[in-house]
Amino acid sequence: MHTIRRPRVDDAAAIHELVAASDTAVIGAADSTLEDIADELVEPGFDRERDGWLAHDAGGRLDGWAWACRNGDSDLVDVEVVVRPGVDGLAEELWPTVLARAAELGKERGHDTVTLHVGVYRSDAAKRARVQELGFEPGTSYHRMRIDHDGPVEPLAAPAGLTLQSGESEEVRREAHLVHQKGFAEHFGFVPVGYEQWYERRQASSTNDWSQLVLARLDGQPAAVLIGSNAFALDEGCGYVATLAVLPEYRGRGLGRFLLRHAFAADAARGRKGTILHVDSNNTTPALGLYESAGMRLVMAIDVWQRNLP
């Protein structure tokens, strides 16, 4: 028998141990840090009292961690159930609770149906089979790409009329937000958010660093943005490109390649071992080809499975 209760901020270490055990069983190593888990527990929009569940065995060991998290006011809800390897029956207990809460989140926001997303490591055959049994279908796949830095990286020559600004000022951040929203408007699972929500979510992350936001202007007009963070600094010793967006009217001019190489050079200068990013393999732009041609390689595939729920 397991006891179910709501998570608290001080549960981060126990949750991290559980998630690390689950990851290690599938991919051979932990794929998140304690700081990552702590950030999840205080993420804006996640209500610990209503959206998360912890399952402890009779001895007090944490064996299950489940949650449902809304995406703004949209019909999209991200869900997850993590169970300690070797513990039987607990997933079957937690999934109905998560699905029921996801339906409530949609109803609370005026939606007749909700779209659920769950991420599954490509190598996790057991979880893939479970979500299929639950009615999930393939949505898209994200490739984790990496390039290693053995020394300084020479930046590319800047296109004519290009200027760069970092994200320490609110004016730059607001312009970067607009470029991000417009640049990703047609991407899988994208949910538009206002500036205040966008800022709050990034500000709440312990790995956020506004100096790693780079807004590119062409002839004075906002054209592209790259947002870097320290998400992979502690565990991988790498920089991370969280976002790279180019406005449609400025694509094909080399801005994406320039900003990517700019990030490589900055990470190498910081002493980082490499740079990591995630890309939707079904991206509406040829982003995957760009990253491969820039020397990045696939290190992991994460499939997103989706289900519509009344």
Cβ-based burial of 156 (10 A; exposed 0-12, middle 13-18, buried ≥19) = middle
pLDDT band for position 209 (cuts 50, 70, 90): very high
- The tens digit of pLDDT for each residue in 74-132 reads 999 999 999 999 999 999 999 999 999 999 999 999 999 999 999 999 999 999 999 99
The string of DSSP letters for the chain reads --EEE---GGGHHHHHHHHHHHHHHHHSS--S-HHHHHHHHT-TT--HHHHEEEEE-TTS-EEEEEEEEE-TTSSEEEEEEEE-TT--SHHHHHHHHHHHHHHHHHHHTT-SSEEEEEEEETT-HHHHHHHHHTT-EEEEEEEEEEEE-SS--PPPPPPTTEEEEETTSHHHHHHHHHHHHHHTTTSTT-----HHHHHHHHHH-TTEEEEEEEEEEETTEEEEEEEEESTTHHHH-EEEEEEEEE-GGGTTSSHHHHHHHHHHHHHHHTT-SEEEEEEETT-SSSHHHHHHHTT-EEEEEEEEEEEEE-
Predicted model pTM: 0.93
Which position has the higher pLDDT, 125 or 185? 125
Question: For 52-81, b where at least 16 C-beta lie within 10 A, e where not — what string?
Answer: bbbbbeeeeebbbbbbbbbbeebbbbbbbb
| pLDDT for the residue numbered 310 | 87
Question: For 210-222, b where at least 16 C-beta lie within 10 A, e where not — what string?
Answer: bebbbbbbbeeeb
Q: Average pLDDT of 259-266?
A: 98
Q: Residue 282 pLDDT more than 90? A: no
Q: Average pLDDT of 67-71?
A: 96
Report how far residue 120's alpha carbon sits from residue 2's, in angstroms, rounded to the nearest whole number. 25
| pLDDT for the residue numbered 286 | 77
Q: Residue 307 pLDDT more than 80? A: yes
Q: Average pLDDT of 259-264?
A: 98
Q: Average pLDDT of 284-296?
A: 88
Sign of torsion over alpha carbons 81, 227, 251, 71: positive
| pLDDT for the residue numbered 284 | 65
Report how far residue 180's alpha carbon sits from residue 227's, in angstroms, rounded to the nearest whole number. 9
Report how far residue 234's alpha carbon sits from residue 34's, in angstroms, rounded to the nearest whole number. 10
How many CA atoms lie less than 13 Å away from 140 in the CB half-sphere?
13
- The tens digit of pLDDT for each residue in 131-180 reads 999 999 999 999 999 999 999 999 999 999 999 999 999 999 999 999 99
Please, what are the domains in the chain? Answer: 3-135 (3.40.630.30), 146-303 (3.40.630.30)
pLDDT band for position 186 (cuts 50, 70, 90): confident
**Residue 64: which of 75, 76, 72, 56 has the closest Cα?**
56
Q: Residue 43 pLDDT more than 70? A: yes
